[in-house]
């Protein structure tokens, strides 16, 4: 049974999430999407586009359905899975002020949900025009939504000039160097840019970082310095959210690394929003790939190392109050 991809959609009130959700529910894209929202009222479902409705579910004439979450997300998803006809994807909207972490964690935590669905990506809609002020005010929600994202839809770009947009993109990149940013006006972004991204697909994670590596050559030390500089800077700029990038050219000892990571996430997991790694474990002919949301992680063997390929390990943490130097020492102490 193939798992249904789930996109977690987040963004500040008024950023354009509703516009984007309405496009998914009404455009003739030929796919069956299930959209889970907090309240129908926010979306304002147009009666003429509805084919059938029961108490919690509206079926649209383009084949998509929309349902509300009241209380338990797991129960809603189980209900969706029992409906006749399969879905191409599920989109879960989080409230405008919520940290998307707990929603994302649902897909790591529940065994039945893990069998039926797979977390695909966290997508954040950002209002290009207002985000600068939110970040100046050190709005915790705005920062966390950016830091969590795999994909960022930078919306309302028609209200700004190029220089202003570049400044906003730089600030986003400082909080989250990993996310892909798509500029948009009125939430007009190709749906394949936000759906079925495979951002939590461990096999794809390995390939993308691997390809990226070849482009940057052996510039790791420079990158390392750069992140430490950024890290210090971000303590002032963004109330403590920063990304720390680590790399090591010696193999890691799995028996040292696993307890180190477990202990780190157990003690600091609340503050670590996202973690990713592609690791060279001693004695293994395949890279080990993992990623996590807060305390939850998912890991598996990835692609085999090729003969003659330069092996190394890379990790990225995005979070608050991260001590880059301490993380580096801990990581390096796991060397075989």
What pairing do the DSSP bridges indicate for beta strands 89-93 and 4-11? parallel
Closest to 327 (Cα-Cα) out of 255, 177, 249, 227: 227
Q: What's the pLDDT tens digit per position in 7-31?
A: 999 988 788 888 898 888 888 888 9
Contact partners, residue 291, CB within 8 Å, separation at least 6 = 200, 202, 205, 274, 275, 276, 277, 297, 298, 299
What tokens does 79 get? 């209900």
pLDDT over 90, % of the chain:
35
Say how far apart CA 231 and CA 245 lie, in whole Å: 10
The one-character DSSP state at 84 is S
Reported as a pLDDT band with limits 50, 70 and 90, residue 177 is confident
Say how far apart CA 262 and CA 297 lie, in whole Å: 9
> What pLDDT is stored for residue 42 in this prediction?
60
Say how far apart CA 75 and CA 305 lie, in whole Å: 41
Q: Do 272 and 205 contact (CB within 8 A), yes or no?
A: no
Q: What's the pLDDT tens digit per position in 192-217?
A: 888 888 888 776 664 344 333 333 33
Q: Do 252 and 333 contact (CB within 8 A), yes or no?
A: no
Q: Do 118 and 5 contact (CB within 8 A), yes or no?
A: yes
Q: Do 292 and 202 contact (CB within 8 A), yes or no?
A: no
What domains are there in the chain, each with its CATH number? 4-194 (3.40.50.300), 202-332 (3.30.1220.10)
> pTM for the full model?
0.80
Query: Mean pLDDT across the chain, nearest whole number?
Result: 81
The one-character DSSP state at 201 is -
Q: What is the secondary structure of 123-166 as a DSSP string? A: EEEEEHHHHHHHHHTT-HHHHHHHHH-SEEEEE-GGGS-HHHHH
- Cβ-based burial of 188 (10 A; exposed 0-12, middle 13-18, buried ≥19): middle
> What pLDDT is stored for residue 46 in this prediction?
61
């Amino acid at each position: 049974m193939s798992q249904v991809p789930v996109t977690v959609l987040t963004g500040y009130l008024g950023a354009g999430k509703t516009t984007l959700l309405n496009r998914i529910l009404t455009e003739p894209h030929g796919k069956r999407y299930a959209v889970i929202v907090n309240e129908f009222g926010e979306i304002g479902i147009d009666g003429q586009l509805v084919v059938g409705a029961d108490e919690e579910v509206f079926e649209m004439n383009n084949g998509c359905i929309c349902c509300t979450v009241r209380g338990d997300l797991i129960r809603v998803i189980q209900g969706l899975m029992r409906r006749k006809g399969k879905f191409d994807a599920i989109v879960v909207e989080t409230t405008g002020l919520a940290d998307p972490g707990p929603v994302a964690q649902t897909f790591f935590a529940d065994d039945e949900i893990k069998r039926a669905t797979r977390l695909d990506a966290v997508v954040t809609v950002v209002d290009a025009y207002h985000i600068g002020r939110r970040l100046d005010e050190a709005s915790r929600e705005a920062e966390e939504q950016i830091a969590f994202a795999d994909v960022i839809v930078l919306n309302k770009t028609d209200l700004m000039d190029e220089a202003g947009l570049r400044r906003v993109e730089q600030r986003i990149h400082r909080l989250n160097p990993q996310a892909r940013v798509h500029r948009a006006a009125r939430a007009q972004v190709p749906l394949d840019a936000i759906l079925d991204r495979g951002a939590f697909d461990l096999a794809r994670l390995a390939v993308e970082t691997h390809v990226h590596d070849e482009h940057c050559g052996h510039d790791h030390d420079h990158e390392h310095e750069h992140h430490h500089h950024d890290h210090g800077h971000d303590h002032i700029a963004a109330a403590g959210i920063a990304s720390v990038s680590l790399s090591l050219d010696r193999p890691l000892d799995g028996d040292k690394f696993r307890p180190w990571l477990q202990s780190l996430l157990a003690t600091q997991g609340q503050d670590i929003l996202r973690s990713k790694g592609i690791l060279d474990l001693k004695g293994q002919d395949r890279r080990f790939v993992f990623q996590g949301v807060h305390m939850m992680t998912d890991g598996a063997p990835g692609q085999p190392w090729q003969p003659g390929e330069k092996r190394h390990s890379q990790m990225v943490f995005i979070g608050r109050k991260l001590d880059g130097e301490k993380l580096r020492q801990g990581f390096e102490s796991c060397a075989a």
